[in-house]
Structure 1
Amino acid sequence: MSTTPPPDISFEQDALGRLILIAPGGTRHVNVHPAKMFPLTEKDHWISIQSENSREILCVEDPQTLPEPSRSLLLGALARRDFVPIIQVIHRIVRMADGHQWHVTTDRGDTTFEVETDESIQNLGHGRLVIVDRRNTRYLIPSVPSLDRVSKRKLEHYY
């Protein structure tokens, strides 16, 4: 991985909507994908730029230092990839033979998902939890203490 100063790179979008990286020296990489390296702790910094086959090309430490329109193109691509529903209420957690089924309300509405093991629930410290379901979707609880009393009680085993 190389961290590249922003003036040395730029982004474009082709007619098909694919993101193109123009790397130092003018090398063009078509259909690159940005990925947050630390999506929960450094969500606005450290963006890995990956090739079509998910190999890292370079890292952008701070996308805000990119000039327009490169900054908007990169941040737009990140927003399309970034899907982390915020759990607001836990209605129930049902034990199943091969894991647990969660029934919750998120910032995007009511949903149900399945979690395989307790290891899929990670305590991030400072009252934050992340839950990874069977489809590898991450759900965030940004503040367990801020949840309603019933939701907190359902989490006692994990928190």
Structure 2
Amino acid sequence: MKLVPHGSELALIDADGVRHEKVRPLRLFPLTEPHHWVSILSETGQELACIEDPATLEADQRQLLDAALAKRHFVPVIRRILAIKRAPDGHDWLVDTDRGATTFRIETDESIHPLGRGRLVIFDKLGTRYLIPKITDLDRQSRRRLERYY
């Protein structure tokens, strides 16, 4: 298996030498195993390959894969919870993330999912995921705001 650039996308040359264009990588466990298990999917969504540990790839292959994954996976990390306010159809969260301050809305408390080891993922109304890598690393006020909903 070999990944090759295909314009702004990727192509895969499989073990039989067949070239598959417009492939896309997909992290199988983006929150619990972010550095392992990447599926390479065809344009129609068929799995063509599965990479258990991308770190074992040659450097050029890993760079291509990492660049393609970075385009697909947007998971801001919450550093502080500045405010949570009730809204007509849920709660508006004002947070500081690794990408700056933002506001998002969650519809129910079921939008907050524990991942184990003190980690949480929050899905907003639009489907964007926000990660809290370790609840205990949040400042006291952020933890207090979070306790009401989790």
Q: TM-score, normalised by structure 2?
A: 0.93
Q: Alpha-carbon deviations, 1:7-53, whole Å to 9, x = none?
A: xx000002x22100111211211111111111112111100111223
Distance verdict in 2 for CA 1:50–1:114, change over 3 Å: same
**Contact 2:9 2:68 (C-alpha < 8 Å) held by counterparts:** no
Alpha-carbon distance in 1 for matches of 2:20, 2:149: 43
The number of residue pairs the alignment matches comes to 150
Return 116-125 or 102-111, whichever deviates more. 116-125
Alpha-carbon distance in 2 for matches of 1:124, 1:151: 18
In proportion to residue count, which structure has more strand? 2
Alpha-carbon distance in 1 for matches of 2:116, 2:58: 35
Partner of 1:113: 104
In the alignment, does 2:34 pair up with 1:12? no
User: How far off its partner does 1:54 sit?
Assistant: 2.9
User: How far off its partner does 1:81 sit?
Assistant: 1.7
- One-letter amino acid matched to 1:135: L
Q: Alpha-carbon deviations, 1:46-88, whole Å to 9, x = none?
A: 0011122333222111112222422221121112222111101
- One-letter amino acid matched to 1:122: H
Identity rate of aligned residues, in percent? 54
Alpha-carbon distance in 1 for matches of 2:92, 2:54: 37
In the alignment, does 2:86 pair up with 1:86? no
- Structure 1 residues without counterparts, runs of 5 or longer: 1-8
- One-letter amino acid matched to 1:154: R
- One-letter amino acid matched to 2:4: E
User: How far off its partner does 1:133 sit?
Assistant: 0.8
Q: Alpha-carbon deviations, 1:111-150, whole Å to 9, x = none?
A: 0011112111001122111001122111001111111111
1:10-159 equivalences under 5 Å are 10-14=2-6, 16-159=7-150
Secondary structure at 1:26's aligned position in 2? coil
- Structure 2 residues without counterparts, runs of 5 or longer: none
Deviating beyond 6 angstroms after TM superposition, the runs of 4 or more aligned structure 1 residues are none
- One-letter amino acid matched to 2:5: Q
